[in-house]
Structure 1
């Protein structure tokens, strides 16, 4: 498993570097978030041993169950919440995570601001944008983005950038380009976009954070 993890990690880094070269970017500009959702600690440890230090989880409770022990054992791990966040889990999320990728509504701004005050800790957040206009997915509507950003800034929530999940089964490049333009329009450097099947495209279109699970852990 350790050799497989090392090889998979090296392959993903090579793909990122290749995409960066095409786009005249530096690989250091791209943060690889290894999405470890549903994977047990014993599957995660080899990637840590191979040098990966940024991980992503979809659910607060799952992260709370497995990451405290992993962090105690391995030290300097940054943990990102990449899944949807319920407002009633905001306080737990602020205490556990170093970055949240799914700020998408006014009620969550309120909950995160309150949680930050209680925890004495501010966690950078990506605002998730519904670039595909899919009601079943999280993300704020494009038209609602300026107001949500203003509300988050007024609540002293650090804005890391914008995040998106393009529609499944459709060429993702136009959606990545749209998110990049929205980020530019609002003066935001961070763009969380791209997963195992399309992260190279996302990198070429300006991704600063790619959320990669299957390419690193294999299929579930």
Structure 2
């Protein structure tokens, strides 16, 4: 990676952090309340190294095999990196996620939760998990309905090797800020209800490059940003 690209990732990260801070300030929130998750899918290890050099330690991966390889490549890094699996998860890939990742954002059915719980290696900290909500009711998206959250949360909370941390959503694309805010606010309401029952719940993962300000205004505690940090993705490989 040449020096210009190196500078670009560092500069992009700084700009994203500034956008988070300004979005938080507009709604009287502290920027520290919002965790920046750098979505590194399809990007090489060298790009992740540049982000680490710029102070980024939390990364999100969408593809199981690619993510597992990156986790292994950076094993032993100090300070430790925190790896989040944020893509759809098939049951035949659950062992790889449970063995390699620190977080899983995309639990949408009991079977997946049970497998992740059973397959978490002995001696490792519990897998930190989020329930994925299909807030826009899209046929093409994973996730459960808001009415199903309570039941799945209770089932996950009983599992020894998982820690329920909150909710995640990928709403349908909306160009209008007011529409973005309305959809995200439904998630915030569900999240606040969940927190009343489970004191460890502290994470609402929503907001990406194009809708981050509305997500933060609604109450997001974790934004998932890829393109604005690493540039456009290359899917040709």
Normalising by structure 1, report the TM-score. 0.94
Equivalent-residue separation in structure 2 for 1:158 and 1:201 (angstroms): 27
Cα distance in structure 1, aligned partners of 2:82 and 2:96: 16
For each residue in 1:99-158, what CA deviation from the matched residue of structure 2 results, as whole angstroms up to 9, or x when unmatched? 111011111111112112656541110100111111221101222111111111122321
1:146 aligns with 2:154: no
- 2:52 corresponds to: 48
Q: Whole-Å Cα distance in 1 between the matches of residues 123 and 85 of structure 2?
A: 17
The match for 2:173 among 168, 186, 192 is 168
Give runs of aligned pairs for residues 1-150 of structure 1, distance below 5 A.
Answer: 1-72=5-76, 75-116=79-120, 120-150=124-154
On the 8 A contact 2:68/2:97 being kept in 1, the answer is no
- 1:88 deviates by 2.0
**Residues 91 and 119 of structure 1 are in contact (CA less than 8 Å); yes or no, is this contact kept in structure 2?**
no
**1:158 matches 2:163:** yes
Q: Distance in 2 between matches of 1:119 and 1:111?
A: 17
Q: 1:178 aligns with which of 149, 171, 186?
A: 186
Aligned-pair RMSD on alpha carbons?
1.6
Q: Note the alpha carbon deviations across 1:160-186, whole angstroms, 9 max, x for none.
A: 110000012453221210000001112
Q: Give the structure 2 partner of residue 207 of structure 1.
A: 220
Contact 1:104 1:138 in 2 (8 A): yes
1:193 to 2:206 alignment: yes
Deviation beyond 3 Å, 4+ runs, structure 1: 71-75, 117-121
Work out the CA distance in 2 between the residues paired with 1:118 and 1:31.
Answer: 28
